[in-house]
Amino acid sequence: MASIVDLPPELLDRVCELIPSQATLAQLVRCSHQFYDVAAPHLYQSIELSRTRSKDEFRHLEVITALLLRKPELGRSVRHLALREGSRRSVEKNEKPLLPEIEQAVRDLAAQTGRLLDPPSTGSEDQAQSEDTVPDEVEVEVEDWPEDDAMSDVGSNWSTTDGSDSEEDPDDVIPTDATDALSLARSSQYFRDAILLALFIPCLTKLTSMDLDLLDPTRLRFVQALLRSAVGTEQLFSHVKTVCLGSSMPELRLDLWRDLFTLPSISSIYLHRIIAVRQQTMWGRGPSAEPLPPNAALRPRSLDITHLELRDCRISPWELRRMLAVPKALKTFIYDMGEEINDVEPPVTISYRSVREALELQKDSLEQIWIDYPHDYLFDEWGGSGIATRPMGSFDKFKKLKRFRIASTYLFGFTEDTDIHRLVESLPENLEELHLTHGDEDEELTAGLQKLIEARQRGRFADLNEIKVEVCLPWLVSKGRPPLAADHTRANKDVMAELVQRADGLGLKMRMFVNHSQSRTYSPDLRIQFASRGYWEGLARKESKWGFDGEVEWPQRMSNCMKRPDYPEIRIDEQGVIRPVRGGGVADIVPPRAPPRPSVVGPVFFLG
């Protein structure tokens, strides 16, 4: 009987395709030269490196880079790259010189580019330097970082491997000479990583997806410089279709997001905790006085981007317009609007209306829109005079919009001149599904829903088949306030039960979910503390899914900032009793510290 090693390479290749375990593939690679040639490309189809307090997989980066430099065909096998960083400090010291092939590659790159890697320059905050002057030294602005054992080395952007700040090289020195760079790579773990990434990533010429979840995004500064340069015959990431980019510390501004909108094959972009509030590169203190390189400029209607998802991001109105101008025909837009969290960025008010106006650029193609803010946040776009919190305005020009998920405040507005008709006036006639989040924050909610049901009864919104509403339990057992509520003499739960019944009579399904808004963690400092420990007080939390329906899988973010309680679906029976639609316990509806007594939270019972 022939052994497996006698099988033709084509059949062995098929066998390797069916092996899901990286460990098994690694064992096959070690079996024989024949197995190595067939199994190694499958083993390296996905490269995932992470750094946490207890484990540092980035230590393998140098060996992997050297391997790919020796065997370029392995680099061409890589389809997915994940770089995920949860700790700035490496658990292992490495003060050795770089491997010989790495050092030679650095020297070759320096010879090819003229200088090692010349990052783009920016002006100073007060524009003291003229636009024709490019400073030789640039600095990364770092302020007000949390002090804890995981981040005790944040004082220096290019930290030594032991986290101390005593190294000779100051933060504002970026060596462009190969010899100086190789010397600094021995003492600075971050500079070592940056050099290695600049050599490693260009080897991955056939990448199709990336997950970049970095605590310190400046380690990609040289990669960005390469991306914006003319080095090489093929643009970096030219085959990448899907990217998830984020930072656990958005205080470190990173404009790598801008480069994603120049990748020729990109179709889906997922951003997490990205701050884009001005035309600013990651090395400067103020607005950029230097024009962006030509291949970093965003070109309108240039790319086949169909999915854009911004989770816990803060994007200025002008940057949002730039983003939304790039896709030829965007299908899905998700914007979880983050809050201002530090004093590093200039205060930029994001008006409700500016988001809708930016979306007008894609009004002829958008089919799904979700505009929200995270579970623990308060909407904070006060803008002094209240202009920023005026209603977002009508989406009636969005003729292809089928599914609309939005915080109700964005439609009703947060203004003195209230109007219960704004919900109906905001929606396009072709809408099929409406999902209102944070509904308990608007007194107009019940009256607005009543007007919507009445409009449906008169023949409008004929395609609308489902309404979802998220509210908190205290709101349900409270009475509405005159004159905005549909009925201020009864508890909101009874009014909602009647609206559900009326909608059902029209063939319109109406569902309710408990959002636990009364148990938010409002303090940003406390949220950071809970997230860094991976433990939240109160209700149990789990990682939020990506995509409009949670259909997109990305690993848990290293910051733990995408965790939130589960929002259980509820119904109100004929006796006015609030019940979970699916089986559960008290913890599914009532926060642990809230007494589950009828006298406090109303008649809430649960079926086994």
Q: What is the structure's pLDDT at 342?
A: 61
Q: What is the pLDDT of residue 123?
A: 35
d(CA 329, CA 54): 44
Other C-beta atoms lying within 10 Å of the C-beta of residue 323: 24
Q: Which residues pair with 406 in a beta bridge?
A: 371, 436
Cα 292 to Cα 228: distance, rounded to the nearest angstrom: 9
Q: What is the pLDDT of residue 254?
A: 60
Q: Quick one: pLDDT at residue 515?
A: 93
**Angstrom distance (rounded) from CA 541 to CA 316:** 30
What is the per-residue DSSP string for 507-558?
A: T-EEEEEE--GGG----HHHHHHHHHHT--SSS-EEEPPBSTTS-B--PPPT
Q: Within its chain, how far is the Cα of 308 from the centroid? A: 10
Q: What is the pLDDT of residue 253?
A: 59
Residue 207 three-state SS: coil
Q: Which residues pair with 310 in a beta bridge?
A: 271, 335
CA distance 196 to 17: 30
For the CA atoms of 359, 360, 366, 370, what is the dihedral angle to 10 degrees? 30
CA–CA dist 450, 444 (Å, integer) = 10
Tokens of 546: 């990506």
- What local confidence, expressed as pLDDT, does residue 150 receive? 34
SS3 of 150-187: CCCCCCCCCCECCCCCCCCCCCCCCCCCHHHHHHHHHH
511's enclosing H/E stretch is: strand 509-514
Tell me which residues of the chain have a pLDDT lower than 70.
1-7, 9-13, 15-18, 21, 27-30, 32-34, 88-95, 113-177, 230-234, 250-254, 278-296, 341-346, 378-385, 583-608
Helix (H) or strand (E) holding 324, with range, is helix 317-325
The strand ranges marked E within 295-380 are 307-315, 332-337, 368-372
DSSP 112-131: HHSSS--------TT--S-T
User: Residue 270: its pLDDT value, please?
Assistant: 98
| Per-domain residue ranges of the chain | 1-43, 47-125+138-297, 304-517+568-573
CA dihedral 347, 353, 357, 363 (to 10 degrees): 130
- CATH 3.80.10, applies to 304-517+568-573: yes
Closest CA to 404 of 468, 320, 324, 449: 468
Q: Which sign does the torsion angle of CA 121, 123, 128, 129 carry?
A: positive
366: left (phi over 0), alpha (psi -120 to 50) or beta: beta
